[in-house]
Amino acid sequence: MDNTAAATSFSNDTDTSQDDSTQVKDVEGIGGQRLKTFIERIERLEEEKSALAEDIKEIYAEAKSTGFDTKTIRKIIALRKMDTEKRREAEDLLDIYMSAIGMA
């Protein structure tokens, strides 16, 4: 689907909570309706992102209430996101640094 078709399909889906009496127009080569569509899509995704962040926060609270250490869970999640080789390099470097300051 080209960008024009995508913009058109999303413009039909968006919530137009803004005052629609404002005329959207092209100004100095900038397509007003297309720009508005991009902005509305981003706003909708930002709302979804906020809702997801709240859901994640609740899951951490639930894990904490059942006795899990959320700091450790966050660390595991961060490690799982890393490439295996990058993770090994980071762990090796941590071991070297800890040995250098007498912690190993």
47, 77 Cβ separation under 8 angstroms: no
DSSP 3-state helix, strand, coil percentages of the chain (rounded to 5)?
A: 70, 0, 25
d(CA 66, CA 41): 38
- Residue 12 confidence (pLDDT): 47
Maximum separation of any 2 CA atoms in the chain, in Å: 69
Q: Compute φ and ψ for 27, nearest 5 degrees.
A: -135, 125
Domain boundaries, the chain: 1-66, 69-104
pLDDT in tens, the chain (104 residues): 444 444 444 444 444 455 555 788 888 888 889 999 999 999 999 999 999 999 999 999 999 999 999 999 999 999 999 999 999 999 999 999 999 999 97
